[in-house]
């Protein structure tokens, strides 16, 4: 379960329906071209929170079929509807997903005891393991060291997807929990996570830029930080342009240029303006994607 996981994008048609052929192509592209170590399915990058429960199940099933055991799979099932989270967790577990993940419940100001009960309920009902998905910038839930400690007492909670810029907390977690899995969640801060001792990384840009990200991992582990920083600079130049253009629509357009049927984004997100097509093609050439 260690290594680089793509936060898998999901191709949609103009009516918001999942493009099965495109999703299968995207899975193959991640495994065969980007050489990723695993897939994180139905996370933020998959536009999960705009999908129906049936669409989420559809994605879980297609990805499971296409991967067929080649790489580990993590199923993000988090929802503020606990019944949906449990149902999706059971479904992914039946399909053979290696672990579940769940974003902390959001929107309402849930207490820590409520958050803890949420994770415990999913684990009890599914029998699978769990990666906490900590992304305070979007959920408003910033857990403390003491709260992580309380959650990690449960052996079924095997780690965390740490999408946070609090590197002091990351260092403390790594030191206190050497046997828990910690994944870096910010692509633009990958090198800092690797230096801090993360076990892997989960990110959206790895769908198109996984090979460079893996180079950062390898160089850091060899102690070649100067070379790793040079690659991170290149990655961040790319990420900066992708963010300027609109991350998910831009990533899908880049994949289209590479021959993957990546579809479009799901409403209310907006597709990339066709006038920007030349900029996308220039990105592919400039960054040798």
Count of the separate structural domains present in the chain: 1
The contacts of residue 168 (CB under 8 Å, 6+ apart) are none
What is the reported pTM? 0.97
112-120 CB contacts, 8 Å cutoff, 24+ apart: 112/143, 112/147, 112/150, 115/141, 115/143, 115/147, 116/150, 116/151, 118/82, 118/85, 119/151, 119/154, 119/157, 120/154
Cα-flanking dihedrals φ and ψ of residue 158, to 5°?
Answer: -95, -5
Look at the block and give the residue holding tokens 């990723």.
36
Q: Which amino acids are annotated as binding site for aceneuramate, given as ranges?
A: 44-45, 163, 185, 187-188, 204
What 3-state DSSP class applies to 280? helix
Q: What are the b/e assignments for 245-274, b being 16+ CB within 10 Å?
A: bbbbbbbbbbbbbeebbbbbbbeeeebbee
Phi, psi torsion values for 242, nearest 5 degrees: -65, -45
Catalytic residue among 40, 133, 183, 206: 133
Distant-in-sequence, close-in-space partners of 200: CB < 8 Å, separation ≥ 6:
1, 2, 3, 4, 5, 37, 38, 181, 183, 184
Answer whether residue 274 shows pLDDT above 90.
no
pLDDT digit string, tens, across residues 185-217: 999 999 999 999 999 999 999 999 999 999 999
Catalytic residue among 161, 214, 256, 266: 161
Query: Cα–Cα distance between 95 and 73 in angstroms, integer?
Result: 10
Q: What span, in angstroms and rounded, lies between the C-alpha atoms of 73 and 101?
A: 10
133 catalytically annotated = yes
Q: What is the mean pLDDT of residues 27-39?
A: 98
Helix (H) or strand (E) holding 161: strand 157-162
- Segments forming the whole domain that contains residue 93: 3-286
pLDDT confidence of residue 169? 97
Q: What is the pLDDT of residue 149?
A: 97
pLDDT, tens digit (0-9, with 9 covering 90-100), for 152-189: 999 999 999 999 999 999 999 999 999 999 999 999 99
Amino acid 201: pLDDT: 98
| 90 labelled catalytic | no
Find the CATH number of the domain harbouring 222: 3.20.20.70
Mean pLDDT rounded to a whole number for the chain: 97
Q: What pLDDT digit, counting tens, does each position of 100-132 carry?
A: 999 999 999 999 999 999 999 999 999 999 999
Annotated binding site: 44-45, 163, 185, 187-188, 202, 204
* Residue positions forming the annotated binding site for pyruvate: 202
> What are the tens digits of pLDDT across the range 131-149?
999 999 889 999 999 999 9
**What percentage of the chain exceeds 70 in pLDDT?**
100
């Amino acid at each position: 379960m260690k290594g680089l996981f793509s936060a898998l994008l999901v191709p949609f048609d103009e009516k918001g329906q999942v493009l099965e052929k495109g999703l299968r192509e995207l899975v193959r592209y991640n495994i065969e071209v980007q050489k990723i170590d695993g897939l994180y399915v139905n996370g933020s990058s998959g536009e999960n929170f705009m999908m129906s429960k049936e669409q989420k199940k559809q994605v879980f099933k297609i990805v499971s079929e296409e991967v067929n055991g080649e790489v580990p799979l993590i199923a993000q099932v988090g929802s503020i509807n606990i019944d949906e989270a449990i149902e999706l967790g059971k479904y992914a577990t039946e399909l053979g997903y290696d672990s579940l993940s769940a974003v902390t419940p959001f929107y309402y100001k849930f207490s820590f005891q409520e958050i803890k009960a949420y994770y415990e309920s999913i684990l009890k009902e599914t029998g699978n393991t769990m990666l906490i998905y900590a992304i305070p910038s979007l959920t408003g839930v910033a857990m403390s060291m003491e709260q992580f400690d309380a959650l990690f007492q449960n052996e079924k909670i095997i780690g965390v997807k740490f999408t946070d810029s609090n590197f002091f907390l990351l260092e403390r977690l790594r030191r206190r929990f050497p046997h828990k899995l910690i994944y870096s969640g910010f692509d633009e801060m990958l090198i800092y996570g690797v230096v801090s001792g993360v076990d892997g990384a989960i990110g959206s840009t790895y769908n198109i830029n996984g090979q460079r990200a893996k180079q950062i991992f390898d160089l850091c582990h060899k102690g070649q930080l100067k070379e790793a920083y040079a690659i991170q600079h290149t990655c961040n130049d790319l990420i900066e342009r992708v963010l300027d253009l609109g991350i998910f629509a831009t990533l899908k357009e880049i994949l289209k240029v590479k021959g993957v049927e990546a579809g479009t984004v799901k409403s209310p997100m907006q597709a990339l303006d066709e006038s920007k097509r030349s900029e996308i093609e220039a990105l592919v050439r400039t960054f040798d994607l």
